[in-house]
């Protein structure tokens, strides 16, 4: 398999995919070997399974596009160190459903006179377009603005935009008044009556609200959830089992593990994500003894007051779960399914789980052309 071509990389306009000139098969082999090496003190060779590949192009289902240039001729891409924006609207790793939206969105920026935010001068209004697409092609669009100055113009021109791009299911404004190196602020202003993007996956539909986390590569995320479900089906869980999904987001793992006799609780810090997960759970087929509930809160505080579980899934942010939650799992969970986007924090967390032995491990290539990985490890108690 040849390396992928990317004009932005070849002309040194973009360096976001540092491995893009390495043939994809070689990237997979390198990534698999590097992850196994990093975890060598914790995961035995026999536990490893072959890396799960992504599509090498058009896999990215959510993007953050900084807006630069002028309202008449906006540039959509990323901010350089000199504060200008490089346009990468034809990026070959983004889902085609995103690329298709961009000419019309560019025209909309001109029509609604949305002056791009100038980072150096600290002037202008439009900072980012945040776009997520579902496998159906439906999309969520969020305008990240410095203030409400442009809101009325966006509202005025929105009906024409929605007529031209009927796949825009959810549109909102996010306010980011501070001059900070973050992507979004606290306040979200809905512009469409629907504020949940349905993301159908095999056997379930997730619902994404504007400010919640979703994996960047829906194809690989779906394989991750399905692998989790298969692994859990193979465990000899008791007939009535208690399962926790900590850091559950909009519920991808919890909903995939639903089944007869299973009482599943998902815990997540974001209240809108919990509402969305609850809506998704209501659509699942009922099964005898099945219950799924979601709780908004801090995973560690919640776990501290929880009953021991038969299985705990953890899928934390890059920092990992930390020593205290790891120690709680070590005492209270006979089985743990840990999905990590940072093998280094995974390694340090595994060091705090001496009673649990990794029996299955696999890398999922959620982020092709970079060195980032998603690693799934199933651990079971030895005694
Ligand atoms: C890597 S995402 C995983 C989400 C979900 N499991 C999925 O597959 O989409 C990590 C999630 O942890 C949540 N989170 C961050 N800190 C948290 C905390 N202290 N307690 C509970 N959830 C937290 C984030 O909001 C985010 O949704």
For all residues of the chain together, what is the average pLDDT?
96
Ligand 1 within 6 A of CB of 268: yes
- pLDDT tens string 63-118: 999 999 999 999 999 988 888 899 999 999 999 999 999 999 999 999 999 999 99
Q: pLDDT band at 222, cuts 50/70/90? A: very high
Q: Is 272 close to ligand 1, i.e. is its CB under 6 Å away?
A: no
Q: Which atom of ligand 1 is nearest to the CA of 245?
A: 6
- Mean pLDDT score, 128-134: 98
Whether the pLDDT of residue 344 is over 90: the answer is: yes
Beta strands in the chain (DSSP E): 48-52, 62-69, 74-79, 85-87, 126-133, 139-145, 168-175, 187-190, 197-201, 204-208, 241-246, 262-268, 291-296, 311-314, 335-340, 356-364, 374-381
151 CA distance to ligand 1 middle (Å): 31
Q: Which residues are known catalytic residues?
A: 341
Nearest residue (by CA) to ligand 1, atom 4, is 249
4 has pLDDT over 70:
yes
247 assigned binding-site residue = yes
Tens of pLDDT, residues 28-62: 999 999 999 999 999 999 999 999 999 999 999 99
CATH number of 62-192: 2.40.50.1070
The mean pLDDT of 7-24, rounded to a whole number, is 92
User: Average of pLDDT values for 172-184?
Assistant: 93
pLDDT of 181: 83
Q: How many A from CA of 64 to the centre of ligand 1?
A: 19
Backbone dihedral angles phi then psi of residue 380, each to the nearest 5 degrees: -130, 150
Residue 206 CA: which ligand 1 atom is closest? Answer: 9
Q: Which atom of ligand 1 is nearest to the CA of 224?
A: 8
What mean pLDDT do residues 349-378 have?
97
Q: Where are the domains of the chain?
A: 7-56+214-381, 62-192
Q: What is the pLDDT of residue 1?
A: 67
Confidence label for 2 from pLDDT (cuts 50, 70 and 90): confident
Question: CB of 225 closer than 6 A to ligand 1?
Answer: no
- Which candidate, 193, 190, 195, 199, places its Cα nearest to that of 172? 190
**Mutation probe of ligand 1 site: the residue of 214, 316, 342, 364 with most atoms within 8 A of C-beta:** 316
| Distance spanning both ends of the chain, measured CA to CA | 46
Which of the pair, 382 or 274, is modelled with greater confidence? 274
pLDDT tens track for 239-289? 999 999 999 999 999 999 999 999 999 999 999 999 999 999 999 999 999
Which pLDDT belongs to residue 80? 85
Beta strands 356-364 and 335-340 are unpaired
How confident is the model at residue 334, as a pLDDT? 96
C-beta separation of 161 from 183 below 8 A: no
Residue 195 CB neighbours (<10 A): 20
342 in a known ligand binding site: no
Which residues, listed in sequence order, are joined to residue 336 by a DSSP beta bridge? 312, 379
- Better pLDDT: 1 or 187: 187
For residue 191, report the distance from its CA to the centre of ligand 1, in Å: 26
Question: Are 350 and 46 a contacting pair, CB within 8 Å?
Answer: no
Q: What angle, rounded to 10 degrees, do the helices at 343-350 and 322-332 form?
A: 50
| pLDDT band for position 335 (cuts 50, 70, 90) | very high
Q: Band the pLDDT of 223: cuts 50, 70, 90.
A: very high
Cα gap 280→189, rounded to integer Å: 23
Share of the chain above pLDDT 90, in %: 92
Task: Give yes or no for a contact between 107 and 95, defined as CB atoms under 8 angstroms apart.
Answer: no
Q: Is 213 in the pocket of ligand 1 (CB under 6 A)?
A: yes
Output the CA 269–ligand 1 centroid distance in Å: 7
Cα–Cα distance, 107 to 115 (Å, whole number): 13
Summarize pLDDT for 293-320 with one digit per residue, the tens. 999 999 999 999 999 999 999 999 999 9
pLDDT of residue 383: 66
Angle between helix axes 96-111 and 151-164 (nearest 10 degrees) is: 130
Print burial letters for 211-248: b (CB count within 10 Å at least 16), e (below 16): bbbbbbbbbbbbbbbebbbebbeeeebeeebbbbbbbb
CATH topology of domain 7-56+214-381: Rossmann fold (3.40.50)
Residue 360: CA count within 13 A, CB half-sphere: 15
Shortest-distance Cα residue to atom 26 of ligand 1: 249
């Amino acid at each position: 398999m040849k390396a992928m071509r990317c004009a932005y990389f070849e002309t040194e306009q973009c360096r976001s995919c540092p491995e893009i000139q390495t043939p994809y098969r070689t990237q997979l082999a390198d990534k698999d070997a590097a992850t196994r090496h990093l975890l060598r003190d914790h995961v035995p060779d026999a536990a490893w399974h072959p890396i799960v590949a992504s599509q090498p192009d058009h896999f990215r289902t959510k993007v953050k596009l900084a807006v630069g240039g002028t309202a008449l001729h906006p540039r959509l891409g990323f901010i350089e160190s000199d504060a200008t924006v490089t346009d990468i609207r034809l990026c070959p790793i983004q889902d085609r459903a995103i690329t298709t939206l961009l000419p019309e969105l560019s025209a909309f920026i001109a029509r609604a006179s949305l002056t791009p935010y100038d980072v150096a001068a600290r002037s202008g209004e439009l900072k980012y377009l945040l776009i997520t697409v579902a496998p159906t092609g439906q999309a969520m669009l969020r305008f990240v603005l410095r203030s409400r100055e442009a809101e009325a113009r966006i509202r005025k021109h929105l009906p024409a935009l929605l007529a031209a791009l009927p796949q825009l299911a959810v549109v909102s404004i996010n306010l980011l008044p501070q001059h900070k190196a973050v992507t979004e602020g606290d306040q979200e202003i809905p512009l469409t009556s629907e504020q949940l993007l349905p993301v159908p996956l095999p056997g379930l539909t997730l619902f994404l609200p504007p400010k919640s986390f979703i994996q960047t590569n829906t194809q690989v995320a779906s394989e991750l959830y399905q692998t989790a479900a298969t692994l859990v089906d193979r465990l000899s869980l008791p007939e009535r089992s208690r399962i926790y999904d900590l850091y559950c987001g909009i519920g991808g793992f919890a909903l995939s593990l639903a089944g007869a006799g299973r009482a599943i609780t998902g815990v997540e810090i974001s209240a809108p994500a919990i509402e969305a997960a609850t809506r998704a759970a209501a659509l699942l087929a009922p099964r005898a003894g099945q219950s799924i509930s979601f709780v908004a809160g801090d995973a560690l505080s919640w776990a501290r007051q929880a009953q021991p579980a038969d299985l705990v899934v953890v899928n934390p942010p890059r920092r990992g779960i930390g020593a205290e939650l790891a120690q709680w799992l070590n005492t209270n969970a006979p089985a743990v399914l840990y999905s990590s986007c940072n093998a280094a924090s995974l390694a340090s967390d595994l060091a705090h789980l001496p009673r649990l032995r990794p029996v299955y491990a696999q890398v999922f290539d959620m982020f092709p052309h970079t060195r980032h990985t998603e690693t799934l490890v199933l651990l079971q108690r030895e005694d």
